[in-house]
C-alpha cells in the first residue's frame, strides 16, 4: 500500500490493538518491548500506509540534519551554480539535506530567507551576504544561536566562519599578464549591485569580493612596467542591456582598450556579444580576461583566459565547517582559498612576454 501522509500513529495503534506508546517504541526501536510486538506493529503500519514524521522526530532529538543555504545572489552565475551543487553534494554525502533560498542581492529578501530557514528548524546556515554592513538580522539572538558560515564575501564584523577566495592578488596577476604581453590600453568592466546603467566614477561597492577585484585590477595597473597608456574603468549594473552599452562606450572611446577585464561571467558575455556584433575576433582584435571559469569558457576557440576560483573546494569546505560548528567542534575562523590565472588564447601577444 502506498504511504498515506494522513495516517497517524493513533491509527496504527488502533489497527494493531496496542497503545500509542507501544507503537512509538516499536517504530523507534527503543524501550523494552517484545520482538513479536515490534514485528506486528511495523507490519500493521506498513499495511495501512503510515509514514513517520522524520522532521518531528529529528526536532525532538534536537537536530533536523538540514542546512539552510541562503544565497544565492544569482543562480545564472556560473560560480553560484557550481557552488550550490558542491554544497548539496557534500551535504548529501554527510547525511544532510539542503534548503535553498534566492535573495537576488536584496537585503530584505535575505532577511526573509533567514527567517524562513529558521522557521524550518535548520541546524545551521550557509550564507552569501547581500552586503558587508547590513547584518542586524544575524545576531545570535535572532539566529536562535544557530551557527552560520559566510561564503564568497565578508561582513564588516568577523562574527562567523568566513570562506572566501584570494581575488585581489589574482586580479593583479591577470593585469600583469596582459601588460607583459604588450597591452597598454586597458578596460575594466565591473558589475556592482545597486547601481542603474553604468558609470565611470567608482561607486560605493557593497560586496567585498567585488571591491577586492577592483582593487586587484588597480594594483596591477600600478605595478605594471612600463605603465599602461590608458585605463578605462566602468562600473555597471549586472544586467544585459546596461553591460552591452558599457562595452560599446569602451570600444567607442578615443583610445579603446586592446583588452577588457570583466568581474564576472555576465560581463564577459556582454563583451563577447558586442565584439561579435562588431566583427572583432577575440584573442586578435580584442583580448579578454574574466573572473570565474566555466566549461564554455574553456571550450571556446580561442579559450578564454580566466581567474579561476576553487568553487567545489569552497562549497565542500563550507558544509564541513558548518557541520563541525553544529556539533560544537570549531570556533569561527577566516579561510581564504587561492584563486589562480588560467592562461588560454584570449589574450593576444602584442609583444613577447618576459
CATH of the domain at 201: 3.40.50.2300
Confidence of residue 31 (pLDDT cuts 50, 70, 90): low
214 and 130 within one domain: no
What percentage of the chain reaches a pLDDT higher than 70? 92
pLDDT digits (tens, 9 = 90+) for 63-79: 778 888 776 556 667 78
Q: Looking at the structure, tell me whether residues 151 and 206 fall in a common domain.
A: no
Does one domain contain both 236 and 324?
A: no
Q: Do 151 and 187 fall within a single domain?
A: no
CB atoms within 10 A of CB 17: 10
Residues 122 and 191 in one domain: no
Please say whether the beta carbons of 123 and 69 come within 8 A: no
pLDDT in the model for residue 58: 54
Instruction: For residue 2, tell me if it sits in a domain.
Output: no
Q: Are residues 188 and 214 in the same domain?
A: yes
Count CB-CB contacts under 10 A for residue 312.
15
Residue with the bigger pLDDT between 346 and 138: it is 346
**106 assigned to some structural domain:** yes
Backbone region of residue 70 per phi and psi (left: phi > 0; alpha: psi in -120 to 50; beta: other values): beta
**Which residues contact residue 181 at a Cβ distance below 8 angstroms, ignoring those fewer than 6 apart?**
347, 348, 349, 350, 351, 352, 353
Please give the tally of structural domains in the chain.
Answer: 3
Find the mean pLDDT for residues 142-155: 90
Highest average pLDDT, of 6-10, 110-114, 204-208, 216-220, comes from 216-220
Within 10 angstroms of residue 324's Cβ, the number of other Cβ atoms is 16
Does 124 fall in a domain?
A: yes
Decide which of 290 and 46 is more confident.
290
Length of the chain as a residue count: 354
Instruction: pLDDT band for 3, please (50, 70, 90 cuts).
Output: very low
pTM: 0.81
Domain with 22, as residue range(s), is 9-52
Phi-psi region of 279 (alpha: psi -120 to 50; beta: other; left: phi over 0): left
DSSP assigned state of 18: S
Indicate the SS3 state at residue 169: helix
Q: What are phi and psi of 313, to 5 degrees?
A: -60, -40
What confidence score (pLDDT) does residue 186 get? 98
Q: Is 345 a domain residue?
A: no
Amino acid at each position: 500500500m502506498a504511504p498515506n501522509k494522513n495516517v497517524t500513529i493513533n491509527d496504527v495503534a488502533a489497527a494493531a490493538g496496542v497503545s500509542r506508546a507501544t507503537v512509538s517504541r516499536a517504530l523507534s526501536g527503543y524501550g523494552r518491548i517484545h520482538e513479536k510486538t515490534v514485528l506486528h506493529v511495523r507490519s500493521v503500519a506498513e499495511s495501512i500506509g503510515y509514514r513517520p514524521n522524520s522532521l518531528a522526530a529529528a526536532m525532538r532529538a534536537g537536530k533536523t540534519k538540514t542546512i539552510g543555504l541562503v544565497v544565492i545572489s544569482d543562480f545564472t552565475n556560473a560560480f553560484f551554480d557550481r557552488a550550490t551543487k558542491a554544497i548539496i553534494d557534500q551535504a548529501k554525502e554527510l547525511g544532510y539535506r539542503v534548503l535553498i533560498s534566492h535573495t537576488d542581492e536584496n537585503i530584505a529578501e535575505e532577511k526573509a530567507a533567514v527567517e524562513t530557514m529558521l522557521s524550518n528548524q535548520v541546524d545551521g546556515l550557509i550564507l552569501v551576504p547581500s552586503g558587508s554592513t547590513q547584518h542586524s538580522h544575524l545576531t545570535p539572538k535572532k539566529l536562535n544561536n544557530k551557527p552560520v558560515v559566510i561564503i564568497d564575501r565578508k561582513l564588516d564584523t568577523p562574527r562567523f566562519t568566513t570562506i572566501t577566495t584570494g581575488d585581489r592578488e589574482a586580479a593583479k596577476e591577470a593585469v600583469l599578464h596582459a601588460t607583459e604581453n604588450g597591452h597598454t590600453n586597458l578596460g575594466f568592466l565591473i558589475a556592482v549591485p545597486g547601481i542603474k546603467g553604468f558609470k565611470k566614477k567608482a561607486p560605493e561597492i557593497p560586496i567585498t569580493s567585488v571591491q577586492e577585484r577592483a582593487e586587484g585590477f588597480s594594483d596591477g595597473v600600478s605595478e605594471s612596467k612600463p605603465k599602461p597608456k590608458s585605463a578605462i574603468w566602468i562600473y555597471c549594473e549586472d544586467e544585459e542591456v546596461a553591460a552591452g552599452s558599457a562595452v560599446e562606450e569602451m570600444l567607442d572611446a578615443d583610445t579603446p582598450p586592446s583588452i577588457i577585464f570583466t568581474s564576472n561571467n555576465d560581463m564577459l558575455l556582454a563583451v563577447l556579444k558586442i565584439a561579435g556584433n562588431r566583427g572583432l575576433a577575440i584573442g586578435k582584435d580584442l583580448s579578454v580576461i574574466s573572473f570565474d571559469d566555466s566549461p564554455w569558457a574553456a571550450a571556446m576557440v580561442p579559450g578564454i583566459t580566466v581567474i579561476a576560483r576553487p568553487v567545489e573546494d569552497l562549497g565542500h569546505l563550507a558544509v564541513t565547517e558548518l557541520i563541525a560548528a553544529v556539533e560544537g567542534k570549531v570556533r569561527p575562523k577566516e579561510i581564504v582559498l587561492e584563486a589562480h590565472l588560467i592562461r588560454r588564447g584570449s589574450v593576444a601577444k602584442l609583444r613577447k612576454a618576459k
